[in-house]
A and B are shown apart, each in its own frame.
Chain A
Amino acid sequence: MSDAAFLGMPSFPKAARNALADTQLRRNLAHATGTIRQKRADVVGELDDWEELREAGRAIKERTLRHLDHYLLQLEERVTAAGGQVHWARDGEEACRIVTDLIRATGEREVVKVKSMATQEIGLNEALADAGIAAYETDLAELIVQLGEDHPSHILVPAIHRNRAEIREIFLRAMAEYGAAAPADLGDDPRQLAEAARQHLREKFLRAKVGISGANFLVADTGTAVVVESEGNGRMCLTLPETLISVVGIEKTVPTWQDLEVFLQLLPRSSTGERMNPYTSTWTGTAADDGPRAFHLVLLDGGRTDTLADPIGRQALNCIRCSACLNVCPVYERVGGHAYGSVYPGPIGAILGPQLRGTSSEVDRSLPFASTLCGACYDVCPVKINIPEVLVHLRARVVDESRERRMPTPERLAMTAARWVLSEPSRLGTAQRAASAGGRLLSRRGRIGRLPGPLSAWTDARDAPVPAEESFRTWWRRTRDERT
């Protein structure tokens, strides 16, 4: 897997159809997203200044992005002064190579990992496996995905598509292969499942010499990295190993330490619906007598500068990976994360993926259309990314690109036919009479479930309305004739 699109994934409409047929998946998703929506609404409602925080968050990100080179250089200087080493990577492959070389230099063959979207995006685990290095995911949901040989389906809770009974099965089947086995009498109570994960990972934490993480924020004026988490697996990976390697997208930078006061309020309430997540760790370079002796920061471009080059699409880089937009999205709730075919699912994935990777693949060209443009994602976004605006912008880009490539898409054929019909009143009249007669033949209880021939592409995912018995033009002519 490279550059975040899962290999061989079909385009969104095809993948969505399979997902919709899975009733267990739909039940799991409806339950989980329903729970988190309520929790988020409750804790957001506690703050009178939520809108002011959102506006500040948006503005801080805008300032950062418009002067990203300045802030990255400042960050590099501060991290280095505090005893850390900064590496730069143009793309995922280069980042994987840097990390692999750093691990090899320690002589270790295994690493523990904190959940990180950036390392998933670049396919780090696969690259390390190819180099003979075992990477153990330690976040509970990542562990479920890794043990289940599965793909993540949510930014915050990658195993959201699994319910407790399925997780129990995965633990019983796969834990023994990678370390401490699950207890034979394991039940499906989340407490017991969490306990099994604790037992399974304990020895790995205690013997780990190398930890790999991402970071939620990098503070330019102090050189501080921040990891926000819940379980304590992050603290284990950040604190116990001798070497810490953090792979972080360049857009994670914020200008000042003070700016964290905005994001540390926005992020936990938007993501897990908590006033504050259980653990937040901040560190600046290395510290004497506390934590890793070596700290490496790998700054990743990986398509971010391409995204930055688009003044409308750029705002996608504001994203702080809270996943509130997934949880409110009516499309995500029904089809789940796998249908989006990449590590960033949901509304943010639909605008981030095609910009980071470009629109050369079928799945990336389909993603800007994987939305009803209802706008719920924009309303909840803690950094005010106007996702519908960027979706429409990217739709136009995809259509323009297909025109340049002279690709005969169904939309273009339909539009060409429409132009021919609409340019001549007599043709329109004939078409309307035909549609009216045909529509009545096809309709059931006032709806058309399936149109014939190439028109079926339209009704694959929706009903078509039955055309009126009489067109407006016919009605006008008839009633005027009656009056005169």
Chain B
Amino acid sequence: MSAREDVLSRIRRALADVGDTEAPADVPVPRHYSPGGTPPAGSQEAVKLLAERLADYGAAVQRVTAETVATAVARAIAVRGGDCVVVPRGFPREWQAGLAPERVLSDAPRLSVHELDRADGVVTTAAAAIAGTGTLVLDGGPGQGRRALTLVPDYHLCVVRAEQVVASVPEALARLDPLRPLTFVSGPSATSDIELDRVEGVHGPRTLEVLLIG
């Protein structure tokens, strides 16, 4: 018997107390927990809560407008210093208007991990943000690039639009496509491994900066 058949038959033997007629849906799952929605998605309150919760976990947060976002991107990159920043395909042209073209690194053709390691930072959009937990979600869509781009460089600047902000985890998961590789980011990389004390900055970007439009 193959290991697969063996494990499956062991499971069926172990579940002798479960009646043959019982279907998975017959086991009740009460979902009386909050579905979210407070504050409403995209509202000023949601954006404000997101800003607070992101800052709580050590991200630098700025509220900007559609008019000031390009300047804010350019200023954040300039303050950060260094020579080159990765800008993934699909990042809006108008948002990178303030960046000197010779400082922009494109991932087409694909950058090697060592090239990424030498880059000073990366600027991306996001797929969604969760206010209650201070979380950004990346799904590799336009302006976000593949996962390594927001991982290897030591600085990540992320631009989020108000309509992308939801209050809760359930609302965010409902908006996301599980078939895409997803990364949920809540603050810069951190560890609690030394005396269970939280320290920011291990392998992922040690600086996370977020621009919230609206």
Contacts and interface: CB of A to CB of B under 8 A. Distances in A.
Interface stretch (B6-14, B73-81, B93-101, B119-127): B6-14
A355 to B, nearest CB: 12
Interface in A227-270: 230-233, 235-236, 239-240, 250, 255, 257-258, 260-262, 264-265
Given A275-B132, A281-B183, A290-B147, A140 B204 contact: no
Interface in B127-178: 130, 132-135, 140, 146-148, 151-152, 169-170, 173-174, 178
Contacts of B57: 274-275, 278
Contacts of B196: 32-33, 35-36, 157, 160
A139 B32 CA distance: 36
Interface of A: 28, 31-33, 35-36, 48-49, 52-53, 55-56, 59-60, 62-63, 66-73, 82, 87-90, 94, 138-141, 144, 157, 159-160, 163-164, 167, 190-191, 193-195, 197-198, 201-202, 205-206, 219, 222, 224, 230-233, 235-236, 239-240, 250, 255, 257-258, 260-262, 264-265, 272, 274-284, 287, 289-291, 299, 301, 305-306, 308-309, 311
Contact of A82 (B12, B114, B179): B179
Contacts of B178: 219, 222, 224, 257, 282, 284
B6 A164 contact: no
Contacts of A239: 147-148, 151
A69 B24 CA distance: 11
Contacts of A28: 195
Contacts of A262: 33
Interface in B160-214: 169-170, 173-174, 178-199, 201-205
Contacts of B184: 264, 276, 279-282
Contacts of A190: 191, 194-195, 197, 199
Nearest to A63: B27
B202 A49 contact: no
Contacts of A48: 34
B195 A231 contact: no
Interface in B7-42: 7-8, 10-18, 22-24, 27-34
B27 A67 contact: yes
A476 to B, nearest CB: 50
Contacts of A278: 57, 185-190, 204
A194 B204 CA distance: 12
25 contacts: A49-B32, A52-B30, A52-B32, A52-B33, A56-B33, A59-B29, A88-B2, A159-B193, A164-B195, A190-B197, A191-B201, A198-B202, A198-B203, A239-B147, A240-B151, A262-B33, A275-B133, A276-B130, A276-B186, A279-B186, A281-B181, A284-B180, A287-B181, A305-B10, A306-B14
Interface of B: 2-4, 6-8, 10-18, 22-24, 27-34, 53, 57, 110, 113-114, 117, 130, 132-135, 140, 146-148, 151-152, 169-170, 173-174, 178-199, 201-205
Contacts of B17: 311
A308 to B, nearest CB: 4
Given A261-B173, A276-B135, A291 B181 contact: yes
Contacts of B132: 275
B12 A260 contact: no
Given A68-B11, A275-B57, A281-B183, 5 more contacts: A53-B33, A202-B203, A205-B203, A231-B191, A283-B181
A408 B72 CA distance: 78
A159 B54 CA distance: 28
A271 to B, nearest CB: 9
A252 B132 CA distance: 26
Contacts of A160: 196
Chain A's interface: helix, strand, loop or mixed, by majority? helix
Contacts of B28: 59
Given A66-B22, A139-B193, A230-B190, A279 B183 contact: yes
A28 B169 CA distance: 35
A240 B148 contact: yes
A49 B30 CA distance: 12
B200 to A, nearest CB: 8
Nearest to B1: A90
A55 B193 CA distance: 29
Given A206-B117, A258-B173, A309-B14, A284 B148 contact: no
A98 B130 CA distance: 39
B186 A274 contact: yes
B8 A72 contact: yes
- 10 closest residue pairs by CB, A with B: A232-B204, A232-B203, A309-B14, A276-B133, A231-B202, A305-B10, A63-B27, A280-B184, A141-B193, A52-B33
B148 A281 contact: no
